[in-house]
Amino acid sequence: MSEAYVVDKNLGQKLEVAEGDLPTKNADGEPIVELTDEQKYLFDTRGWLLVPGLLADVEVAQMKDYALRVQNDPESLPEHERSHVAGPLQKLTDHPVVVGFLNEFLAFPHLSSPECYGFRMEGSGLRNPAATPERQGVFGPHNGSGLFRFAYDSHHYQSIPGKSFSGLTRVVWELAPVKMYQGGTLLATGSHKAAYAAPESIQDPHSAVWDTYECPAGSVLFFTEALAHSTCPWTNEENERVGIFNLYNSVGSRWSPWQPPEQLIDQMPAMRQTLFRETHCANNVPGFQYGGQNHKDRKPV
């Protein structure tokens, strides 16, 4: 396939992505893992991609314990660390596989560099259902047809031959095993590009419209929020779900009012801090913005 012609912001010229425009290492100095051609094809055609078993058992145990502590015993932690991007969970925000994915489907090269991500983080939270009736979760399909939606709410998906852009992207870290059709997330494969309104059968969680997955603890699921999706009630009696739901957006868009504590951000590596900028500081103004303040003492981004 010939290289995609992506229109730049300068009189319609082609956007050229040069060496050094996108980071090749994350905030911890780990090499970015680029997507394979097959992974890019699968995500673009399906709207979701599962990468199983990325985390080591010891990492999973530490992250799971911390996530549940934030939820069930927050008083045991300093206030600014009561967040699902704190402690060992911080490394999930820019895991090398996550950055590789977002460099391909979300990053804007003009607002990126080896020290700065070309996308921003929109939210993070825990999903912790269990098989008991009061905790299973409720089936509720939503979104879809993102190829034809306006970009103002970020729930859109753009494609030209050789390149696609996922305006609002969900990254789910499964820190406990997921069994097929016993929990996890239901995904209406291809519905991010659907030209027809969803059929009535989409209201049935057992419909052929829906796909899902199974995976070991330490797996990661990517899906575009332009895709129709839903909670799958958790019926796995062997373990509860411990899912970290991270959300990413383009630098120039904002969907959620969520923001981590400033003290937590201040303690992060400088590169990781760029995930939480409000806007890119243009006109050669040094620094970046988060929490409503422009921190001019930081390295220009």
Calculate what percentage of the chain has a pLDDT beyond 90.
Answer: 86
Query: With 60 as the cut, is the pLDDT of residue 135 above it?
Result: yes
pLDDT at 297: 34
pLDDT at 190: 98
pLDDT at 3: 85
Query: With 90 as the cut, is the pLDDT of residue 37 above it?
Result: yes
Q: How confident is the model at residue 152 (pLDDT cuts 50, 70, 90)?
A: confident
Query: With 60 as the cut, is the pLDDT of residue 284 above it?
Result: no
Query: Among the residues of 74-152, which ranges form H helices?
Result: 90-93, 96-105
Instruction: Enumerate the domain spans of the chain.
Output: 37-295
How far lies 300's CA from each of 24, 273, 296, in Å? 18, 12, 8
Query: Among the residues of the chain, which ranges form H helices?
Result: 37-46, 57-72, 90-93, 96-105, 262-266, 270-273
Burial class (CB in 10 A: 0-12, 13-18, 19+), 299: middle
Q: How confident is the model at residue 147 (pLDDT cuts 50, 70, 90)?
A: very high
Q: How confident is the model at residue 290 (pLDDT cuts 50, 70, 90)?
A: very low
Mean pLDDT of 141-155: 93
Query: With 80 as the cut, is the pLDDT of residue 134 above it?
Result: yes
Q: How confident is the model at residue 272 (pLDDT cuts 50, 70, 90)?
A: very high
Query: With 60 as the cut, is the pLDDT of residue 287 above it?
Result: no
Mean pLDDT of 207-215: 97
Check: CATH 2.60.120.620 for 37-295?
yes
Mean pLDDT of 151-179: 95
pLDDT at 207: 97
Mean pLDDT of 142-155: 93
